[in-house]
Structure 1
Amino acid sequence: MLDPIVRFFQRAFAALGRGIGLLVAWLVWPFMAAHGWYSGRSWIIKGPLLALLVLFVGLYGYFFWQTQVWSRFDPDFVEEYRLTERTVPAGQEIPAPTPAATDAPSAGGAQCQSSAIVDVVADLTDVNVNQNAWISSMLLYRLGLFGIDWDHTPFLDNKASFQRGVNQAVRRTSVELVDTLARVRGTSGINNDLQDARNNLQFDEYSWYFGLSPFGPKTPTPSYYRAAIDSFRKFNTDLAACRSTFDSRADNLVQFVDRIANDLGSTSAILRERSENYNGGWFDTRADDRYWFAYGQLYGYYAVLSAAGADFSQVIRERNLAPLWAETLSQFRSALRIQPAIISNGREDGWIMPTHLATMGFYILRVRSNLVEVRSVLDR
C-alpha cells in the first residue's frame, strides 16, 4: 500500500532534481559559451578582455568594501568634544586666566569661544567624504545594478542613504548659520566663509567626474563638500580670534529648534507614507533607504543639538531648560540604538514581519514632540 506513495515522492524528487539541473545549466551556459569563445582567440583579443575583467572585479570589490565598511560610525562620538567643559557660550569672549592660574606668558589679544555647532557639522562632513567614500557619486553607484537604481534594490544602498541623511542635517544647519546664528539680529552682513560652506553643501549629491546633463566633465560632489569643511574651519578660527560673530540669543535658538523640528516632521511624513502604502515586509526594496536616511538625519541632528547645548548654554541655563534639553537628547540616543540587520516594512498589526519604518517614525515623533516643547518654553 505504500508503493504508490513512495513512487510519488520518487517522481517528485526526480522532477525537482531535473529542475535544479536545468536552472544551473541555464545559469552556467553563458559562462561556458564565453569560455569556449575566449579560449579560441589570440592574446591580442584575450589581453584587453582580461584587463577589463580584472578592472571590473577590482572596481566592484572596492565598491562592495566601501558600502559595507562604515568608518568612524559611532552614535556617541559627541562625547569626544567634552561639551560639558565649555563654560562660555559661542562667540563670547573667554575671560583671561588670572596670573596665579597659569605660568604661561600672555599671548595677547582677546580670545572668544568657538562654535561647537560649526565643529560638529565640519566633522560630520569630514567623516562623510574623507574618512569614508561618498557613495552616492561613485561611478558604480550611478550605474546601478544592471541599470536599476541601487535605491530600488535591497543591496548596497544603506550607507549611501545614511550619508545623505547626515548631509541633510548639515545642510539645514548651514542655512541657519548663515541666515541667523552668525549674524547680529539679522542686520549684520553675512559671513562669507559660512556662505561659501552653505553654497558648496547645496551641490548635487550624485555628481561624478563626468555627466550627461549637461554633457561634459564635472567637479565631483566630494570636492565641493571638502571645500565646505575648509570654510567651516576658517569661520571657527576667526570666531576664536573674535573676528567673527555668533549670536547666541534665545530667539535664534527658538528659530533653529523650529527649523529642525519641521525638517524631522517632513521625514516622518515620508516614513508614514511608505509604511502605510507599501507593506512588503522584508521584500520592500525602498524600506531600507528610507530607514537609513531617517537614521542618518537623527544621527546628524543629535550631534548638532548636543553642540547647540554648549553654544547656547547661557540661554538654556537662564530658561531652566537643562532637564528638558537632556531629555530631548536622550530621545535622540534611544532612536539611534535601533540598528536592525535587515529592514522590514510589514503591517503594523502583522505578527511575522516587523515594521521598522513605523518604529523609526514613532521615535522621530517623540523627538519632534520634545523639540516643540523646548520651543514653547523658549517662547514664553
Structure 2
Amino acid sequence: MLDPIALFFQRIFAAVGRGVGLVVAWILWPFVTAANWYRARGWLIRGPIGIFLILLVGFYAYFIWQTQAWTNFNPDYVNAYNLGERKQDAGTSSATTPTGEVGEPEPKTCVRSAIVDVTADLIDFNVNQNAWISSMLLYKLGLFGLEWDKTPWFDNKAAFQRGVNQAIRRTAVELVDALGRVRGTSGINNDLQRARGNMQFDEETWYFGSDSLLPKTPTPNYYRTAMGDLRKFNASLEACEAIFDGRSDNLIEFLDRITNDIGATSDIIRRQSEFQNGGWFDTRADDRFWFAYGQLYGYYGILSAAGADFDAVIKARGIGTLWGESIKQLRSALKVQPFIISNGKEDGWIMPTHLATMGFYILRVRSNLVEMRDVLAR
C-alpha cells in the first residue's frame, strides 16, 4: 500500500537530482570547454596563458584576503588615548618651570587636540593599517561587471571604511571652519585647509581611469597627505603656533554638524528597512549597515576626544553626565556585529532586522546630541 507513495517521492527526488545536475553542468560547461581547449594547445600558447591565470588567481587571493582581514579593528580603541587623564583643554598653555642654574624657562608649550589626534589615527587605520578597498582594481571591476556593493560578497569592509571616512571628512571641515581658528579674527590654518581638501577627494580613484589615459594619484595617497597635515597642525598647536578655539558656540556647531550627518544616515537606513526588507536576500542591507557602523565607529573616537578638548565647557554647563551617557550609547551600538546582515520586517518572526536595530542606536545617539546642544545653547 505504501509502494506508490514511496515511488512518487523517489521520482520527485530523481527529478530534483537531474535538475541540479543540469544546473551544475550548465555552470561548469564554459570552464570545461576552456580547459579542453587549453590542453589541446602547444606550450607557446599554454605558457603565457598559464602565467596569466596564476597571476590572476594570486591577484584575487590578495583581494579576498584584504576584504576579509580587518587589521586593528577594535571597538574599544578609544581606551588607548587615556582621555580621562587629560587635565587641560586643547590649545591651552602648559605651565613653564625654571630650569638650569640661570633659571631659564622651558619653551612654552600648549595642549594638543585630541580630536585632531584621533582623526589622523582613523585615517592611518583606514589607509595604512588596512588596504583602502574602494579604489582597488578588482573592487572597481566588480563581479562580471556587477558592482560588489550590489552583491552579498566582499563589500562590507569597503562600506565600513567609507563610514569612518564620512566622520573624518565632517570633522576636517569643522576643524577648518570653526575649531582651528578664532572666528572673525584669524585666518584659516593652512595645514587644516590642505587636510580638508585632500579628504574631499574621490573615494574610488585607482592609478588609471576611463576618463584619462594618463596615470593618476590613487585615493589613499591623498588621505595619507591629509593625515600628515593634521599631524603638522597638532605639532604647531603643541608649539603654541596654531589655534584651537574651544568655545561653547564652536562645540554647539560641531554637535549640530554631527547630528545632521548621522541623521542623514538614519534616513537612508529607514528607507532601506521600509522599502527593501528582503531579509537575508537584501544585497544592499550589509552596505547600509556597515556604513552606519563605520560612521559611529569614527564618531565614537572623535566625540570622546571632543570631551577632552572641551572639558572646561562641558563641566561649566553641567552636561558631563549626559556627555558620558552619549559616549556609552555610541559604544553600545558597536556591539552589534552580526555575521550576516538581515533586513527583515520589523514584525517578522523568521528573519531578523539588523538595519532597524542599527537605526534605533543611531536615533538614540542623535537624541542625546540634540539634548546636549540645547543645554549648551541656553
CA distance in 1, matches of 2:163, 2:15: 49
**Is 1:132 aligned to 2:130, yes or no?**
yes
- 5 Å-filtered alignment, 1:257-268, equals 257-268=255-266
Following TM superposition, by how much is the alpha carbon of 1:319 offset from its aligned partner in structure 2, in angstroms? Answer: 1.1
Per-residue CA distance 1:292-320 (angstroms, 9 max, x = gap): 00000001011000000010111111111
User: What is aligned with 1:49?
Assistant: 49
| Larger mean Cα displacement after TM superposition, 217-226 or 89-98 | 89-98
The amino acid that maps onto 1:45 is: I
Q: TM-score w.r.t. structure 1 length?
A: 0.96
User: What is aligned with 2:201?
Assistant: 203
Following TM superposition, by how much is the alpha carbon of 1:57 offset from its aligned partner in structure 2, in angstroms? Answer: 0.6
Following TM superposition, by how much is the alpha carbon of 1:145 offset from its aligned partner in structure 2, in angstroms? Answer: 0.7
Following TM superposition, by how much is the alpha carbon of 1:185 offset from its aligned partner in structure 2, in angstroms? Answer: 2.3
CA distance in 2, matches of 1:149, 1:107: 61
| Larger mean Cα displacement after TM superposition, 49-58 or 1-10 | 1-10
User: What is aligned with 2:80?
Assistant: 80
Following TM superposition, by how much is the alpha carbon of 1:276 offset from its aligned partner in structure 2, in angstroms? Answer: 0.8
- 3-state DSSP class of the match of 1:211? coil
User: Does structure 2 retain, via aligned residues, the 8 Å contact 1:299–1:336?
Assistant: yes
CA distance in 2, matches of 1:319, 1:288: 40
Give the % identical residues: 66
Following TM superposition, by how much is the alpha carbon of 1:75 offset from its aligned partner in structure 2, in angstroms? Answer: 1.1
- 5 Å-filtered alignment, 1:189-268, equals 189-268=187-266
User: What is aligned with 2:314?
Assistant: 316
- 5 Å-filtered alignment, 1:1-380, equals 1-97=1-97, 108-380=106-378
The count of corresponding residues between Structure 1 and Structure 2 is 377
The amino acid that maps onto 1:199 is: G
Following TM superposition, by how much is the alpha carbon of 1:86 offset from its aligned partner in structure 2, in angstroms? Answer: 1.0
CA distance in 1, matches of 2:12, 2:291: 47
- 3-state DSSP class of the match of 1:210? coil
Q: 1:113 to 1:203 in 2, by over 3 A?
A: same
Q: 1:339 to 1:106 in 2, by over 3 A?
A: farther
CA distance in 1, matches of 2:105, 2:265: 48
Q: 1:106 to 1:75 in 2, by over 3 A?
A: farther
CA distance in 1, matches of 2:209, 2:76: 38
CA distance in 1, matches of 2:136, 2:196: 23
| Larger mean Cα displacement after TM superposition, 285-294 or 186-195 | 186-195
User: Does structure 2 retain, via aligned residues, the 8 Å contact 1:169–1:297?
Assistant: yes
The amino acid that maps onto 1:299 is: Y
- 3-state DSSP class of the match of 2:192? helix
- 3-state DSSP class of the match of 1:255? helix
CA distance in 1, matches of 2:218, 2:184: 33
CA distance in 2, matches of 1:2, 1:317: 81
- 3-state DSSP class of the match of 2:214? strand
- 3-state DSSP class of the match of 1:73? coil
CA distance in 1, matches of 2:305, 2:125: 17
- 3-state DSSP class of the match of 2:209? strand
CA distance in 1, matches of 2:209, 2:17: 48
CA distance in 1, matches of 2:195, 2:281: 39
User: Does structure 2 retain, via aligned residues, the 8 Å contact 1:179–1:186?
Assistant: no
Per-residue CA distance 1:208-258 (angstroms, 9 max, x = gap): 000112443211000000000110010000100001000101110010011
Following TM superposition, by how much is the alpha carbon of 1:260 offset from its aligned partner in structure 2, in angstroms? Answer: 0.4
The amino acid that maps onto 2:246 is: S
Gaps (5+ residues) in structure 2?
A: none
User: Does structure 1 retain, via aligned residues, the 8 Å contact 2:165–2:295?
Assistant: yes
CA distance in 1, matches of 2:280, 2:130: 28
User: Does structure 2 retain, via aligned residues, the 8 Å contact 1:180–1:186?
Assistant: no
Q: TM-score w.r.t. structure 2 length?
A: 0.97
